[in-house]
Amino acid sequence: MRIAPSSPRNLLQQIVGFTSDIRFLRAVGQLVFLVLLVLVLTQTWNSIVSSLSARNLTPNFQFLQDRAGFEIGGAGDYSPDDPYYAAFMVGVRNTLMTVSVGLVGATVIGILGGVFLLSTNWLVRNITRFIVEILRNTPLLVQIYVMFFVVVLSLPAMRDSLQLPAEGIMPIPVRYLVYLLAVMVVWRATRSYRPEVRSAVKAGLLALMLMVEVCFWLYFNRPDVLGSLYGAASMTDSRLWIYLAISAAVLVGALFLPSALRLTVAGVGVGQLIGGLLFYFGVLPTSALRVELQPVFFLNNRGMVFPELLTTARFSEWFIYVVVGIGLALMLFLYLRKQTEQTGQPNARLPLALAVVATLAILGWMIVSSEPVPESILVQQDGQTVSVPLEEAREQDLLSLEDELFYSQVPVEVVLPRQQGLRFASGYTLTPEFLALTLALIIYTAAFIAEIVRAGILAVPQGQLEAARALGLSYSQMLRMVVLPQALRVIIPPLTNQFLNLAKNSSLAIAISFADVYQVMNTVGNQSGQSVTSIIIVMLTYLVFSLIISAVMNWVNGRFQLVTR
C-alpha cells in the first residue's frame, strides 16, 4: 500500500500544533528564563570583576591562606597568626553550636508552650498566651539586646559566681536527685512488665542505692574502714574475686527460694553486684564525691563554666567495647522487631538494646580501668630527668595535662572547673555573647513553635479524643499515644520553616559581637578587601545549613505521613 506524501498545508498544521502544545511552551519558557538568568549573572559578575580588578582586588580564594591578624574571643585553639581559613572555621563552629543548641531548646520549650496554650487551667493558659504574644510581636534583635545587656551582663561578677551545687543553692544532695530520676525511669520503663519482674528491678535499684549510701557513710564517718576495703582496682586482685563469689552465691541462692521471692532476691544480688563493682573501681565514692562536694557549674557575667570531658590514652580501647555493644544492640533490636511483626506480641526492644550498650560500655570501662599503670615515671626537675613514683608526681603537681591524660586509668577524665583569681584554669567556658544569643533565639523561636503545636493539636479530630477518654487513657497517655502522633503530620511542615528561620536569624549575632560565621567573614572581608568573595562564602555556608535542615525534616516528615494506595 502506498502512502501519499504529506501536503505542505498538513505539515504546517503539525508544526503549529506542536508549538502550541503546553508542554513545549513550558520547556521553551524555562529555557529562555535560564538563558536570561545566566546572561544576567555573567554580566553582573564580569562587571564586579572589572570594577575590583581596577582596584587590584580581583575576587579569588587564595586570600584564605593569608594571616588573619585579629583576635576571636572564646576560641582557645585559634591565634592571630593562623590563616583566614582557621578564623572561618571558628565562625562555622560557633554557628553550628548556636543553631544545634537553639533547635533542641526551642523545640522542647515550644512543645511545652503549645500544650500549655490548650491547658484546661485558666491561669496557665492565659499566662502562656500572654508570654507567647509578647515574644512573637517583639523584634528578635530587641530580644537579643535585652538578653545580653539586661540579663547576662547583670549576673554576678566572677568572684561572686553562682555555683552549682553549692550550699544555699542545692539544699538537697545531688545523689538524691539522681535517685529520684532513676526511680522515675525504672517505674516508667517497667510498667508493662510482669509484677515479679517489676519487684526484682525495684529491689535491685534499692540495693544499689543502699550500697551508695553505705559508701558515703563510710567516707564521712569511718574512713579507716573505707581505706582497708578500697584499693587500687585490678582484675587480678583477690579481694575482687572474693566479692564476686559472694555476689554469685546470693544469685545462686535465689534459685532455691520460693518463686515469689526468687526474682526479688536475684534483683538484690544484681544491685549489690553493680554497686560493689562501682565502689571497687573507684566510681564510688571518690569520683561521685567530686560532684557532691565541689561546684560543677559556675555562672557569672563572663559566661558559664562547666566540666570538660577529655579522652585519655585508653579511650580508643574502651570505645571498641562501645562499638561492639552498639552492633549487638542493633542486631537485637532488628531481631525483636521482626519477632513482633511475625507474632504480633510487643516487646521492650528499645530498653533491651540500650541495656546491651550500657552493659558492654560498663564492662569495657572496668576492664580498661583495671589495666596497671607504671609505678614510676620520668619527669624534669631542675633541668634533670629523674624517676619519681607516679602518685608522688601527682601530689607534687609535676605532671602536665597531657601527662595526666596519658597515665590516667580511666578512658575519659572529667576536669571540673577550677577558679584561679579572675579566671578559670580548667573547664569549658560559654561566653556571655553565646548565652545571650542562644537564649534569645530559643525563646523567640519557641513562641512560634508553640502556636504551631497548638494548631496541630487542634487539628486532631474530636472523635479521637473522645475515643481515648472512653478507653480510660490519662491526659498524658492521650497526648503521647493519640494526639501527638496525628498532630505531627500537621506540625512538621511549618516547624521546618521555623528551624530554617532560627539558623538564618543566628546571623544577628553581629549585633553583640559574637564570632559567628557572618561576623568573622565580615571582618575578613573588610580586612582583606575580598568582600565579594567573603559574602559568597557566607551565602554558601548558610545555604548548606538550610539544605541539611530541610533534608532531615523532609525525612522526618516522610516517616510520619500516612501511607495510602
Same domain, 224 and 323: no
Confidence of residue 235 (pLDDT cuts 50, 70, 90): very low
Cis peptide before 461 (omega within 30 of 0): no
pLDDT above 90: residue 327 = yes
Same domain, 105 and 136: yes
pLDDT above 50: residue 403 = yes
The per-residue pLDDT for 56 is 66
CB atoms within 10 A of CB 80: 11
Same domain, 200 and 264: yes
If one compares 55 and 459, the residue with the highest pLDDT of the two is 459
Same domain, 40 and 101: no
The burial of 168, by beta-carbon neighbours within 10 Å (0-12 exposed, 13-18 middle, 19 or more buried), is given as exposed
Confidence of residue 495 (pLDDT cuts 50, 70, 90): very high
Same domain, 181 and 269: yes
pLDDT above 80: residue 552 = yes
Tell me how many domains the chain contains.
4
377 assigned to some structural domain: no
CA 103 to chain centre: 10
- What average pLDDT does range 434-438 have in this prediction? 92
352 assigned to some structural domain: yes
465 assigned to some structural domain: yes
308 assigned to some structural domain: no
pLDDT above 70: residue 244 = no
DSSP H or E segment with residue 162: strand 162-164
Q: What contacts 388, CB < 8 A, 6 or more positions away?
A: 376, 377, 378, 379, 381, 396, 398
Same domain, 344 and 279: no
The per-residue pLDDT for 562 is 62
Same domain, 178 and 122: no
Same domain, 238 and 123: no
If one compares 238 and 74, the residue with the highest pLDDT of the two is 74
CB atoms within 10 A of CB 552: 12
189 assigned to some structural domain: yes
H-only helix segments in 118-136: 122-136
Rounded Cα distance between 450 and 125, Å, is 12
- What average pLDDT does range 240-252 have in this prediction? 66
pLDDT above 50: residue 233 = no
* Nearest CA-CA partner of 440 in 30, 220, 149: 149
CB 294 within 8 Å of CB 167: no
226 assigned to some structural domain: yes
Strand partners, 389: 376
Give whichever of 246-255, 475-484, 528-537 has the largest mean pLDDT: 528-537
- What average pLDDT does range 456-460 have in this prediction? 87
Distances from the Cα of 38 to the Cα of 31, 326, 359, 446, 517, angstroms = 11, 50, 59, 40, 29
Same domain, 57 and 88: no
Pairing of strands 308-311, 162-164: unpaired
Confidence of residue 232 (pLDDT cuts 50, 70, 90): very low
If one compares 79 and 20, the residue with the highest pLDDT of the two is 79
Rounded Cα distance between 98 and 439, Å, is 9
- What letters, b where the CB count within 10 A reaches 16 and e where it falls short, cover 289-318? eebeeebbbbbbebbbbbbeebebebbeeb
Mean pLDDT of the chain: 79
If one compares 275 and 524, the residue with the highest pLDDT of the two is 524
The per-residue pLDDT for 146 is 92
* Nearest CA-CA partner of 249 in 229, 272, 231, 227: 272
- What average pLDDT does range 504-518 have in this prediction? 90
The per-residue pLDDT for 18 is 65
pLDDT above 60: residue 188 = yes
Same domain, 462 and 553: yes
Domain that holds residue 50: 32-64
Rounded Cα distance between 355 and 329, Å, is 8
- What average pLDDT does range 513-525 have in this prediction? 88
CB atoms within 10 A of CB 39: 10
Same domain, 455 and 506: yes
Confidence of residue 174 (pLDDT cuts 50, 70, 90): low
The per-residue pLDDT for 396 is 73
- Which of residues 260, 294, 328 is at a domain's end? 294
Quick one: DSSP state of residue 311? E
497 assigned to some structural domain: yes
Q: Which three cell numbers stand for residue 148?
A: 545580653
249 assigned to some structural domain: yes
Same domain, 221 and 286: yes
Q: Give this prediction's pTM.
A: 0.74
The per-residue pLDDT for 242 is 61
Rounded Cα distance between 418 and 413, Å, is 15
CB atoms within 10 A of CB 418: 13
- What average pLDDT does range 233-249 have in this prediction? 59
- Which of residues 369, 387, 402 is at a domain's end? 369
The burial of 88, by beta-carbon neighbours within 10 Å (0-12 exposed, 13-18 middle, 19 or more buried), is given as buried
